Amino acid sequence: MQDGWARFAFAYLNPEVAAEWGPKILDGAFVTIQLGLATIAAGLALGMALAMLRASAPRWVQMAIVVFVDIFRAWPPLVVIIVLYYAFPYVDLPMGAFTATWLALSFVLASFAEEIWWAGLQAVPKGQWEAARSTGLSHFQALVWVAIPQAVRMTIPPLLNRTIAIVKGTALGSVVALPEILGQATSAMSLAGNPTPLTLAALGYLAIFLPVVILGRWIERRFAWKR
Amino acid sequence: MDVQSRPVLELAGLHKSFGGVDVLKGVDLAVAPGELVFLIGPSGSGKSTLLRCCNRLEEPDDGAVIVDGENILSPGCDLNRVRQKIGMVFQAFNLYPHMTALGNVALALRKVQGMAKDAAEAKARAALARVGLADKAGSYPAQLSGGQQQRVAIARALALEPKIVLFDEPTSALDPELVGSVLAVMRELKIGGMTMVVVSHELAFARDAADRVVFMDGGRIVEQGTPASVFGAPREARTRDFVARLAERG
Ligand SMILES: Nc1ncnc2c1ncn2[C@@H]1O[C@H](COP(=O)(O)OP(=O)(O)OP(=O)(O)O)[C@@H](O)[C@H]1O
Ligand SMILES: [Mg+2]
């Protein structure tokens, strides 16, 4: 028993290994944070743009949006990352690991966000549109000032959950050698011959995403409102 | 034509069908300035559709809708501009739940009329004061009673200084004890010279506030006249039946 614990501690809680490779994991954490923020910004912006376009555009554009979001909701994010990273250089569009992972996760997040917001828009009562239009607001103004604020508030919980789930996919970047937390940890692990970097990675992810989860809980409560 | 007598709203040969079912079968109606027209009729007779055609929330199939001298069905008509002349009050209030009473009233002033925030809010406060809700400017719809919500909705319409206000069963969703406050506001409007078309079952209100009662059935105007004549001495059998049933109900 005592022996087992000592071996476990040497492997996973090794202070020397932690001190040596900690800085590398920290570098990875900055990549993870940058990638996560860039994905949230691009994914949500594109998702909102798609939802607004779908609510205003002619039928064929709506159909094109549905096809786009259905495909990106069907593909595993890892597949999208690998396709962008390995296949696009062949069409003279080489991209780095960061760009490939960022684009892939942004498209996936945009697709889910579009669907969630679209469902929210459908749930805005028709009378809201009629009230807005009857006072002279254009379709676009009614969308922006009346329908979207309600749709966004209604869909905060599913959107938060989906966003967190997809942003955690930054770890998938390790597959295309992106030096984010997990990628740094696995390479450190093989160089050190000791899995303590994995422990650091787990702690690093907690340090980044636990506040996000808690913030999500706060936003959920803050913006819940009774009809 | 003499401006004084020119109708604020004129419907001519208005037709509307939904999926092959004729709901309006040629309606002619002219509403004079300051007039309160009270519209009654059985469920499904086309009253709501008639009101909604007046600002093209429903697209009429045929006929003319002339508001303040302008045919709003003509191709060149700027719909968002004319809609500001036609206030509409809905049975379900349709207040924006994410905005305060003030925000509800000020939205179109700011976004449609392009007023600055301060000016729009001052005007919105004045409209809220007109419906007796000066002290509720900062309240959200969920914090207001049904009667208060409907009065905010009326203020939202009034703030745009419309030529006419259309009411579609404005008190039908209200608890009985709240109906009076909304009707009182509507009476004030009438006294102030507002032109109004009101779909409602409030006969007592019609008797003392309406200039004319119009009875619709099956997509047509069957009978019209003063409240005393339509309620007291209806000529048509259908009107008689309907008025009798309405009176029974309260
Ligand atoms: N958008 C629509 N699509 C299809 N049918 C409709 C639509 N709107 C109204 N109708 C039909 O048109 C007819 C007239 O409806 P309308 O709402 O104008 O009647 P109403 O006189 O206002 O009735 P109520 O007193 O019940 O409000 C009804 O048969 C209704 O089912
Ligand atoms: Mg109706």
Q: For chain A, what percent of residues have pLDDT higher than 70? A: 98
Report CB contact under 8 Å: A137, B142. Answer: no
Q: From the CB of B16, is ligand 1 less than 6 Å away?
A: no
| Closest approach of B58 to chain A, Cα-based (Å) | 10
Bridging pattern class, strands B9-18 and B21-31: antiparallel
Residue A226 — very low, low, confident or very high, per pLDDT cuts 50/70/90?
Answer: very low
**Amino acid at the residue A111:** S
Cα–Cα distances in angstroms (integers) from residue A141 to residues A51, A133, A177, B30, in the given order: 15, 9, 45, 32
CA A209 to chain centre: 11
Q: Which of A127, A149, A150 sits opposite B90 (nearest CB)?
A: A127
> What is the pLDDT at residue A220?
83
The answer on pLDDT for A145 being more than 70 is yes
Contact A29, A205 (CB under 8 A): no
**CA-CA distance, A32 to A168, in Å (whole number)?**
9
Cα–Cα distances in angstroms (integers) from residue B133 to residues B67, B126, B159, in the given order: 30, 9, 13
Express each pLDDT in B202-215 by its tens digit.
Answer: 999 999 999 999 99
The answer on pLDDT for B47 being more than 90 is yes
> What is the pLDDT at residue B4?
61
Report CB contact under 8 Å: A136, B160. Answer: yes
The mean per-residue pLDDT over the stretch B129-139 comes to 97
**CA-CA distance, A80 to A83, in Å (whole number)?**
5
ipTM of the complex: 0.94
Identify which has the larger pLDDT, A157 or A141.
A141
> Whose atoms come closest to the Cα of B90: which ligand?
2
Q: By CB neighbour count within 10 A (0-12 exposed, 13-18 middle, 19+ buried), where does A119 fall?
A: middle
Identify which has the larger pLDDT, A225 or A54.
A54
Report CB contact under 8 Å: A227, B95. Answer: no
Please state, as a whole number, how many other Cβ atoms lie within 10 Å of the Cβ of residue B90. Answer: 24
Express each pLDDT in B60-99 by its tens digit.
Answer: 999 999 999 999 999 999 999 999 999 999 999 999 999 9
Residue A1 — very low, low, confident or very high, per pLDDT cuts 50/70/90?
Answer: low
> Whose atoms come closest to the Cα of B52: which ligand?
1
Mean pLDDT of all residues belonging to chain A: 93
> What is the pLDDT at residue B1?
47
Report CB contact under 8 Å: A141, B111. Answer: yes
**CA-CA distance, B24 to B67, in Å (whole number)?**
19
Cα–Cα distances in angstroms (integers) from residue A154 to residues A122, A149, A165, A204, in the given order: 11, 9, 19, 32
Distance from Cα B49 to the centre of ligand 1, integer Å: 6
Query: Which residue is listed with tokens 């049904």?
Result: B146
Contacts of A133 in chain B (CB under 8 A): 57, 83
Distance from Cα B24 to the centre of ligand 1, integer Å: 10
> What is the pLDDT at residue A95?
81
Report CB contact under 8 Å: A135, B98. Answer: no
> What is the pLDDT at residue A227?
43
Q: From the CB of B200, is ligand 1 less than 6 Å away?
A: no
**CA-CA distance, B86 to B164, in Å (whole number)?**
5
Q: From the CB of B44, is ligand 1 less than 6 Å away?
A: yes
Q: For chain A, what percent of residues have pLDDT higher than 90? A: 79
Give the three-state DSSP class for B16. Answer: strand
Residues 6+ apart with CB under 8 A from B173: B91, B92, B93, B146, B150
Contacts of B107 in chain A (CB under 8 A): 132, 135, 137, 145-146
> What is the pLDDT at residue B250?
61
**Tokens coding A196:** 């303590």
**Tokens coding B150:** 């409907």
**CA-CA distance, A222 to B81, in Å (whole number)?**
37
The mean per-residue pLDDT over the stretch B2-16 comes to 86
The answer on pLDDT for A223 being more than 80 is no
The mean per-residue pLDDT over the stretch B99-118 comes to 97
Bridging pattern class, strands B36-40 and B86-89: unpaired
Q: Which residue among B14, B17, B40, B47 has the greatest number of ligand 1 atoms within 8 angstroms of its CB, and so is best to mutate? A: B47
Express each pLDDT in B20-37 by its tens digit.
Answer: 999 999 999 999 999 999
The answer on pLDDT for B131 being more than 60 is yes
H or E stretch including B40?
Answer: strand B36-40
The mean per-residue pLDDT over the stretch A40-63 comes to 97
**CA-CA distance, B102 to B71, in Å (whole number)?**
32
- CATH code given to domain A16-223: 1.10.3720.10
Q: For chain B, what percent of residues have pLDDT higher than 70? A: 98
Identify which has the larger pLDDT, B58 or A157.
B58
Residues 6+ apart with CB under 8 A from B13: B26, B27, B28, B62, B63, B64
DSSP state of A75: S
Q: By CB neighbour count within 10 A (0-12 exposed, 13-18 middle, 19+ buried), where does A110 fall?
A: buried
Residue B44 — very low, low, confident or very high, per pLDDT cuts 50/70/90?
Answer: very high
Domain chopping of chain A, boundaries: 16-223
| Closest approach of A224 to chain B, Cα-based (Å) | 11
The mean per-residue pLDDT over the stretch A118-146 comes to 98
**Amino acid at the residue B63:** G
Query: Which residue is listed with tokens 């422990």?
Result: A199
Residue B53 — very low, low, confident or very high, per pLDDT cuts 50/70/90?
Answer: very high
**CA-CA distance, A47 to B43, in Å (whole number)?**
43
Cα–Cα distances in angstroms (integers) from residue A155 to residues A56, A141, A175, B97, B126, in the given order: 20, 20, 32, 15, 35
Distance from Cα B21 to the centre of ligand 1, integer Å: 10
**CA-CA distance, B107 to B121, in Å (whole number)?**
9
Q: What phi, psi does B73 have (nearest 5°)?
A: -95, -5
How does DSSP assign B95-119, residue by residue? Answer: --TTS-HHHHHHHHHHHTT---HHH
Contacts of B158 in chain A (CB under 8 A): none
Cα–Cα distances in angstroms (integers) from residue A47 to residues A69, A106, B190, in the given order: 9, 9, 48
**Amino acid at the residue B59:** E
Task: Report the residue count for chain A.
Answer: 227
Q: What phi, psi does A8 have (nearest 5°)?
A: -60, -45
The answer on pLDDT for A191 being more than 50 is yes
Q: Is the dihedral of CA B202, B204, B207, B208 positive or negative?
A: negative
Residue A87 — very low, low, confident or very high, per pLDDT cuts 50/70/90?
Answer: confident
The mean per-residue pLDDT over the stretch A144-159 comes to 95
